[in-house]
Structure 1
Amino acid sequence: MTEEKINLSSSELASLWTSYMQNTMSVQFLSYLRETVEDKMISQLVQTACQISEDHIAKLKSIFQQEKIPIPKGFTAEDVNIHAPKVYTDIFMLTYIHHMAKAGMLSYSGFLSLSARKDIRKLFNKTLFATADLFEQSSEIQINKGVFVRSPVIPYPKEIDMVDDKSYFKGLNPFADKRALNAVEISHLHLNFFNNVVGLKLATSFAQMSPRKEVQKICIQGKDISEKHVELFAVTLINNGLQAPIDGDVSITNSTAEVFSDKLILFQLGMLTAAGSGNYATGAAASQRHDLIINYERLAMEVGQYAKDIGNLMVELGYLEQPPGTLDKETLAKNKEKH
């Protein structure tokens, strides 16, 4: 038996399914950006991003067909109006692609690490490298246009230092002095600040374009959560004598035209929320000051509840596509007894 004839493992099936859902969403989002972008350099970047997703989808479809697995519904041209007026500035498009390329590298490296079959590993490895190259291109364009947001610069250490007092971990007492942030903690605060800025702008744009009151409400809820988290991360940096990041022209227009389906809007919000939860968990694990850890855990709980609200609304509206799963053996047996 050749390796390609071995059935997919549950991890591989989950990775393929998730990747299909995310990339079919991305193609529809990027197809709209492609129609409204004006800057030539950014236009080429949008086209490259769209091509990566389209090529990946084609390979995923081929695997589903080869394995005789139903192709997920995902997202189609019905989920976007590419002729709608421009909603996002070109710089936001650039920022969005840069942001999603970072998230994509994390996703594809995770999918790759979960895969055993050679053809599946080859697929995710190829797309990982293509996404890393997209990140490089977006970084260069941001630097070229003067909109790359760098994390704060701190003095180089003069010598190796060891932690010699347990007070290094403290930070919960509001009346006691806190030690200065270390470079690892600063990097995660900066990352989460800017991730929330992107989420805030997206949620605002989605609230503008959705015709449904309940979808508008949950978009505004997401915007409010992101604003609060942005402020917390900014204050934490400023209180340590560091400059909070400046988001530049990460903007949206005043257009209220319907661009994306509510299904796509809610899926994208859910995807960003899941990524945010992961970033907060990583930030908490990497931080050594107790107040930072508590903040990340508190924010993660709020984001988790928001993710639940999104999921519940998707179920109510009939938008939540179910991933592949196992059969409930007990229910199967009971159904057999009835017959």
Structure 2
Amino acid sequence: MSEKKIYLTSGEIASLWTGYMNDSMSKCVLGYMLKHIEDPDIKPVIQLSYDISSKHLELLVSIFEKEQYAIPNGFNEQDVNIIAPWLFTDAFCLTYVNHMSKVGMLAYGGFLSMSTREDICNYFSIGLSKITNLYNESLKIAVNKGINGRHPYIEVPKETDYVDSKKYYSGFNPFSDKRPLNAVEISHLYMNILTNVMGVKLCLAFAQTSPSKEVQDFMLRGKEISQKHIKIFVDTFLKDDIEAPQVPDVAVSDSTTQTFSDKLMMFHMSLISAAGIGNYATAAAASQRLDLAVNYERLSLEITRLAKSGADLMIKHNWLEQPPGIKDRKKLAKNKEKS
């Protein structure tokens, strides 16, 4: 008796496609970093990250071929000028891998939760484990080198407590005192400062190396939005007499030689914009002070508008690869009538 074929679900198709696009982009960026990086402690982590992306692509192609699933175009060696002058510092590369591994852990956790077929679940389970290991390795080296960001310190609770007033959730009235931030709110504020710092550096690097005025303007707009959001989050800390958090000292060089294709840079920005919107949504849901939740929703709208303008630019230049979807039945019917 032959085994019944289990077809891929829409969730699995979407997850596999997204994973391929992300890993093909990452392989280009990491390959460029490997060509230039010199720090003997940092280079093995970049190599590990590159190897993970390469293996993922190999496994994904195998799945696609088995399922007769059209392999996405994604990104390749044509999207990176590997001999371009060094654009980043070694410390930036380590921070970048640490940051992107966080994005990867969230993504692969989501992919796994949307999968049901055993082989696909195994692929995402193993992938999640490898990305988690990558995060731990990059964090360990960053700590040893003193270039990691640390969440603000607060006193360890000595006893449990309960909310005794509805004012705990307040924060809208500018004439009334707001309660101090709690640990959950502090952690999300700090995490979003870190992600925006990375956004500023990437936007700056992409703006100064893109030959396109449209892409340059988009990246500079993204940089300004990230800087604005950082200031809002830092000011929230300062109002509670919490010291402005220390963030990793990462930088980019003054190279203006095109390093990555505009298509790749715009895709990368769409990826971190989507991650930022997700981070803000999580932070808004976790923040019990209403002014914080409203702030996240307002700032999330700014990122959404930026992402929309980015998507419009990608469509204009035929850079936006379309995800798999169902066929347009009306369009099929009209085409049949014409024939």
TM-score (normalizing by structure 1): 0.98
CA distance in 1, matches of 2:157, 2:136: 28
1:150-181: per-residue Cα shift (whole Å, max 9, x none)? 10110111211111100111111122111000
Residue equivalent to 1:164: 164
Which residues of 2 match residues 174-253 of structure 1 at below 5 A? 174-253=174-253
Shift of 1:248: 3.2
- What is the letter of the counterpart of residue 169 of structure 1? Y
List gaps (5 residues or longer) in structure 1.
Answer: none
Which residues of 2 match residues 123-162 of structure 1 at below 5 A? 123-162=123-162
- What is the letter of the counterpart of residue 181 of structure 1? L
- What is the letter of the counterpart of residue 338 of structure 1? K
CA distance in 2, matches of 1:254, 1:13: 41
CA distance in 1, matches of 2:159, 2:259: 55
8 Å contact from structure 2 (residues 148, 247) kept in 1: no
User: Is 1:74 matched up with 2:74?
Assistant: yes
Q: Secondary structure at the match of 1:256?
A: coil
- What is the letter of the counterpart of residue 14 of structure 2? A
Q: Secondary structure at the match of 1:241?
A: coil
CA distance in 1, matches of 2:247, 2:156: 26
CA distance in 2, matches of 1:2, 1:102: 38
CA distance in 1, matches of 2:103, 2:243: 25
8 Å contact from structure 1 (residues 180, 240) kept in 2: yes
1:26-67: per-residue Cα shift (whole Å, max 9, x none)? 000000110111101111110000000000000000011001
- What is the letter of the counterpart of residue 120 of structure 1? I
Q: Secondary structure at the match of 2:42?
A: helix
Shift of 1:239: 1.1
- What is the letter of the counterpart of residue 19 of structure 1? G
CA distance in 2, matches of 1:309, 1:82: 29
8 Å contact from structure 1 (residues 201, 251) kept in 2: yes
Residue equivalent to 2:17: 17
Residue equivalent to 1:87: 87
- What is the letter of the counterpart of residue 219 of structure 2? C
CA distance in 1, matches of 2:251, 2:311: 27
1:92-127: per-residue Cα shift (whole Å, max 9, x none)? 101000000011001001101111111101111111
1:6-45: per-residue Cα shift (whole Å, max 9, x none)? 1100100000000000000000000011011110111111
CA distance in 1, matches of 2:38, 2:247: 21
Residue equivalent to 1:121: 121
CA distance in 2, matches of 1:263, 1:31: 17
CA distance in 2, matches of 1:301, 1:179: 26
TM-score (normalizing by structure 2): 0.98
8 Å contact from structure 1 (residues 194, 245) kept in 2: no
Please list every run of at least 4 consecutive aligned residues from structure 1 whose deviation after the TM superposition is greater than 4 angstroms. none
Q: Secondary structure at the match of 1:254?
A: coil
Out of 127-136 and 240-249, give the one that drifted further. Answer: 240-249
- What is the letter of the counterpart of residue 56 of structure 2? H
How many pairs does the alignment contain?
A: 338
Q: Secondary structure at the match of 1:40?
A: coil
- What is the letter of the counterpart of residue 185 of structure 1? E
User: Is 1:99 matched up with 2:69?
Assistant: no
Q: Secondary structure at the match of 2:41?
A: helix
1:159-211: per-residue Cα shift (whole Å, max 9, x none)? 11111100111111122111000000000000000000000000000000000
CA distance in 1, matches of 2:90, 2:254: 15
CA distance in 2, matches of 1:102, 1:186: 18
CA distance in 2, matches of 1:78, 1:240: 50
Shift of 1:333: 2.1
- What is the letter of the counterpart of residue 73 of structure 1? N
Residue equivalent to 1:312: 312
CA distance in 1, matches of 2:321, 2:260: 17
Q: Secondary structure at the match of 1:35?
A: helix
CA distance in 1, matches of 2:247, 2:151: 12
Out of 238-247 and 274-283, give the one that drifted further. Answer: 238-247
Shift of 1:131: 0.4
